[in-house]
Structure 1
Amino acid sequence: MSIWWSLHLRREAASVPLARRLLLGTMETAGVDPDISYDLSVALSEACANAVEHGGDTPDGTPQAYRVTAYLDGEKCHIEVTDSGPGFTAPHRAPRPASSDAEGGRGLCLISELADHVQIGNKPGRGGAVVSFDKILKWRKDAPLMAV
């Protein structure tokens, strides 16, 4: 069995915990190991926070929405966060930790540490950033949706 969902969220800080709670609830219900669930929820929170901070505005200054898509199957979870901002200005390399006195800049590095596979780039055509990541799932022994 697989589970798939997609959210179209307003680009505001209150949307980040909403996406995180939905992911955690989905994984708890499915029977994913809590440590894996936690890692993915932190990575999702960082990707959403980046979309909220860097996503674009409409011509009248209203924040654009961003999208979160999650897919759980028997082996892995795939998460993608896309926004409508300017995207990344240069081809993206592996994230490097921010300097110790920086106020931000750790999110992409943290995502890379928590996930098994990370892709960071721009949406083709219209612009905007895309951060997607996968993690191999571990299941609780009593997991109702565990792969057989």
Structure 2
Amino acid sequence: MNVKSSSFKNEDIIPQEYTCDGSDISPDLEWDNVTGAKSYAIIVEDPDAPGGTFIHWVIYNIKDNKLPKNIPKATKLSSMIQGINDFGRVGYGGPCPPKTHPPHRYYFNVYALDVELPEKHGVTADELKSMMEGHIIDKGVIMGKYKRR
């Protein structure tokens, strides 16, 4: 499954607007429509964080094969459910690596699922991964980088 964004290209720099140094809004994303997919889920991970992989976004039960930029930071948006990121907040939390670090990599993982998952509030990335187990029919990723000035 190919994943793309008009906000940044794969392996390119994520613009400041989508980070803690800017408006901290989610970028737009679009991916291939997968035959048989009943819903899609997204988990955004930074494997370069000092304490291990840091989760920036958990969202699932997406019906379309795209998301506009600036998804509101609310638990439920029509059918979509947003979980808790590692900032302890609901919704998207943009890149915010320590200023002394080299650029971090941010993986926007998109999962095509053969089901719509049960609505659960406060879901973490690990819980979502457990809920998706046995239901992932395709997966794609776009990776962006960010370094604070």
Higher strand share: 2
Normalised by the size of structure 2, how large is the TM-score? 0.30
Higher helix share: 1
